[in-house]
Amino acid sequence: MEASLGPARIVIHADVDAFYAAVEQRDDPTLRGLPVAVGGLPQSRGVVMTASYEARAFGVRSAMPSRQAVELCPQLVIVPPRFDAYQDASRRIMDIFARFATVVEPVSMDEAFLDLTGRVRHLGAATDTARTIKRLVTDATALTVSLGVSGNKLVAKIASDHQKPNGLTVVPTNEARAFLAPLPIRSIWGIGPKTEAALARHGIETAGQLADLDDGWLLSRLGQGGLRLRAMARGEDDRPVAVRGASKQISREITYERDTRDRNQLVDTIAGMAKRIEHSLLEAGPARTVHIKLRYGDFSTITRQQRALHACHQAGEIQDIATALLDRCWDGRPVRLIGVGVSNFSVQVEGQLPLLPPAD
């Protein structure tokens, strides 16, 4: 029996498993089967960018200081990132997606939404396509990708995460609400720590509980936004899969596992993000303005920006300006999140990266 997604839309969300770490294990067979992290070394106060699933079993996670990662997993092998290899794999994977979708919306190097509406008519056919995509990605790159198939972006995204790694999860639209119901509300787009805490105070902890709330309750406590959150908790989402317009900024940010007042760690994080931005600039072209963003433990957030004398295209230039901005604006309190961004491009780019809010 074939469930139908109805006449509406068919969306796949795809996300490569342990992306950087998987590329490293692929290219160095001695790393296979071992706990591997990609990132900076503990002695230089580096941070883990990602970890192999073997390392995750020890609790090693993205954005964790490498020192802490080694404490959790003493046999951890830490390797520096090789962005060229990741970019190459990313291109091959996005090319495969483009063969099957009417629209591909890249979210990051290893993640994209695919709109299959018009290409396939039923969930069964979409599932076959998803299997084909998985096979072709693995044939072309020796990496595995997890896919979620559903009628919209929200549910497809949550589905792709459901059986990682190497997962394929199909959620027919009429089962979306039941699929989401047991999940914690933070799985729903738009629910940040504040809303989560506000709802938790009323005992609302799962998407199912949020989905069942009535209009009056939501409107009085969360306003119109509450109705939107409830719609998402019910698995409703009509945002189109769309290639985003030209980006005005490219930025990266990291939330620390534990708030930090360690300047060396902040500078190290800046260096790592500057490296990643440099890579994006290969396509975007040089940028004239550098931003930083700091969020303290109490969630107060500041952003500062500076215009460079020359358009920057190297990590070192971005890092120097961002570090100078840090030293000018950081008041020494524990930092929860740090972000670095560039804007003011000489050449406009297709935006595929998260945006930093406007700097003041």
Q: Would you say 89 or 154 has its CB closer to Mg ion? A: 89
Q: Would you say 49 or 156 has its CB closer to ligand TTP? A: 49
Q: Taking Cα atoms as reference points, which of 266, 277, 256, 245 lies closest to residue 109?
A: 277
Residue 186 touches which of ligand TTP, Mg ion, none (Cβ within 5-8 Å per kind) = none
Q: From the list 3, 34, 41, 63, which residue makes contact with ligand TTP (rule: CB under 6 A)?
A: 63
Q: Is 15 in the site for ligand TTP (CB under 6 A)?
A: yes
Q: Would you say 163 or 346 has its CB closer to ligand TTP? A: 163
Q: Is 308 in the site for ligand TTP (CB under 6 A)?
A: no
Minimal distance in Å, beta carbon 256 to ligand TTP? 10
Q: 10 Å Cβ neighbour count for 166?
A: 14
Q: Is 62 in the site for ligand TTP (CB under 6 A)?
A: yes
Minimal distance in Å, beta carbon 123 to ligand TTP? 24
Q: Which residue carries 């406009």 as its tokens?
A: 348
Minimal distance in Å, beta carbon 217 to ligand TTP? 34
Q: 111-115 and 168-170: which strand pairing? A: unpaired
Residue 20 touches which of Mg ion, ligand TTP, none (Cβ within 5-8 Å per kind) = ligand TTP
CA-CA distance, 112 to 11, in Å (whole number)? 10
CA-CA distance, 164 to 14, in Å (whole number)? 11
Minimal distance in Å, beta carbon 52 to Mg ion? 12
Minimal distance in Å, beta carbon 110 to Mg ion? 4
Active-site residue, from 54, 111, 253, 278: 111
Q: Would you say 15 or 268 has its CB closer to Mg ion? A: 15
Q: Is 268 in the site for ligand TTP (CB under 6 A)?
A: no
- In degrees and rounded to multiples of 5, residue 141 shows phi and psi of -130, -10
What's the order of all strands across the beta sheet hosting 77-79? 48-51, 36-39, 77-79
Residue 83's Cβ-count burial label (10 Å; 0-12, 13-18, 19+) is middle
Q: Is 19 in the site for ligand TTP (CB under 6 A)?
A: yes
Q: Would you say 165 or 208 has its CB closer to ligand TTP? A: 165
Q: Helix 193-200 vs helix 215-222: angle between axes, to the nearest 10 degrees?
A: 130
CA-CA distance, 330 to 343, in Å (whole number)? 21
Residue 168 touches which of Mg ion, ligand TTP, none (Cβ within 5-8 Å per kind) = none
Residue 164 touches which of ligand TTP, Mg ion, none (Cβ within 5-8 Å per kind) = ligand TTP
Q: Is 171 in the site for ligand TTP (CB under 6 A)?
A: no
Minimal distance in Å, beta carbon 57 to Mg ion? 17
Residue 155 touches which of Mg ion, ligand TTP, none (Cβ within 5-8 Å per kind) = none
Q: From the list 11, 31, 37, 49, which residue makes contact with ligand TTP (rule: CB under 6 A)?
A: 49
175 a catalytic residue: no
Q: Would you say 10 or 16 has its CB closer to ligand TTP? A: 16
Q: Would you say 213 or 277 has its CB closer to ligand TTP? A: 277
CA-CA distance, 88 to 15, in Å (whole number)? 16
Residues in contact with Mg ion by CB under 5 A are 15-16, 19, 110
Residue 254 touches which of Mg ion, ligand TTP, none (Cβ within 5-8 Å per kind) = ligand TTP
Query: Which residues make up the interface to ligand TTP (CB under 6 A)?
Result: 15-20, 49-50, 62-63, 110-111, 164-165, 254
Catalytic site positions: 111
